Amino acid sequence: MSSEGNTRPKARANGDPPAASARRWLRVAGLAFGLACFAGAVYTAVREKDEFAKAIDALRDPPPLAVALVLASIAVGALLSGLLFHILMRRFGKVPFWEMQALISATAFANYLPLKPGFVGRVAYHRLRHDIRTAHTVRTIIEAIALSGTVASMFLLGLVAFRAMGLPGEWALLAPAVLGIGAYLPKVRSLSQALLVRQLELALWTLRYWAVFRLVGAPIDLETAIVLGSVSVIATLLPIVSNGLGIREWVIGLLAPMISHAPVSTSQAIVAELVHRVAELIVMTPIGITAILALVHYNRKRALAPSVTQ
C-alpha cells in the first residue's frame, strides 16, 4: 500500500499531459523548421555572388535618412504595440500604461529567443500581478493577431481596389480606417480603437520596407512596400515559427523580384530582410533589457513595501 501511494504522486509530477507534450514538440519542430529555412535563405543570398556583393557594398555607405527611418519605425512600433494591448487589456483589469509598455517591450524581446518564452511570461505576469485570468490575456493576444491579419488584408485588398479604379495604390494605407466607425459603438469600441493603432503600426512596416531596400541599393516604390510589409506581417503571425524566422526571408526574397517595378534580385531582397532583423535586434535589445530591469525593480520594491512599513 505504501509503495503504491508513493508512486502515484511521482507519476503525476513527472508525467506531462499529452497536449502539453505535443505543444512542446510542435514548438521545437517549428524552431528547427525556421532555422532550416533561415539557413537556406542565407545560402541562397550568398550564392548569388554579384548581387550579394552589390547589397553589401550599398550597406557600407547607407543613406542616413533610411537608417533613421528603419530604427525609428521599430521604436515607435514598439510603443504602438504597448498602446494596443493597453486598450485591449483594460476591459479585464487595471494595468498602468507604463507597466504595459514595459511588459510588451520585455516580452517582444524575449520572443526573439527560441520557443517564444515571452508569451508564457506575459500570461503569468498578468495572472500574478494584476489577477487577470489566463483566458482574458490569451484572448487579447488572439484579438491582436486577428487585428494584424485584418489590417494587412485590408492594405492588400485596398491596393488592388485603388489600382483598379486608377487611383494611387498608396491610399490603401488608409483603408482600415473605415472600420474606425466602431469607436462610436460601445460593444466594439476597444477593438475599433485597437485596430486604428494597429493600422498605424503596420503603416510603419510599409515605410520600414521602403527604407530597408534603399539600404541594400535596391529602391522599391511605396506600393511594393505595402505588399511586402503586409505579407511579412502575415508571415510573422504564423504560430509555429517564432517571428516568422526563415519564412519572412523566403517570402520577401521570392516576392520582391516578382512585384517590384524596379529591378530587385532575390539576393538583395533576402539581405534586406536580414538587415531588417538586425535592426529589430539593435532597437529591441536595449529597450527589452531596460524594460525587464524596470519590471524587476518595480515588483521587488512592491514586495518589500509591507515589511518596510511595518
Contacts of 75 (CB under 8 A, 6+ apart): 283, 287
Query: What is the residue whose three cell numbers read 520582391?
Result: 256
Q: Give Cα separations from 63 to 183, 204, 224 (angstroms).
A: 40, 18, 20
For the chain, the residue count is 310
Q: Distance from CA of residue 224 to its chain's centroid?
A: 20
Q: How far apart are the C-alpha atoms of 191 and 180, rounded to whole Å?
A: 9
CA distance 227 to 157: 10
Q: At what angle do helices 247-259 and 222-236 cross, to 10 degrees?
A: 160
Per-residue pLDDT tens, the chain, 310 aa: give them: 444 444 444 444 455 566 667 767 777 787 788 889 999 999 999 998 899 999 999 999 999 999 999 999 999 999 999 999 999 999 998 889 999 999 999 988 887 766 566 667 788 888 888 888 989 989 999 999 999 999 999 999 999 999 999 889 899 999 999 988 888 888 889 999 999 999 999 999 999 999 999 999 999 999 999 999 999 999 888 777 777 888 999 999 999 999 998 899 999 999 999 999 999 999 999 999 999 999 998 888 877 765 544 4
Q: What is the rounded CA–CA span in Å between residue 86 and residue 94? A: 9
- Rounded to whole angstroms, what are the CA distances from 65 to 73, 75, 283? 12, 15, 16
Give the integer Cα–Cα distance in Å for 63 and 32: 36
3-state secondary structure 9-59: HHHHHHCCCHHHHHHHHHHHHHHHHHHHHHHHHHHHHHHCHHHHHHHHHHH
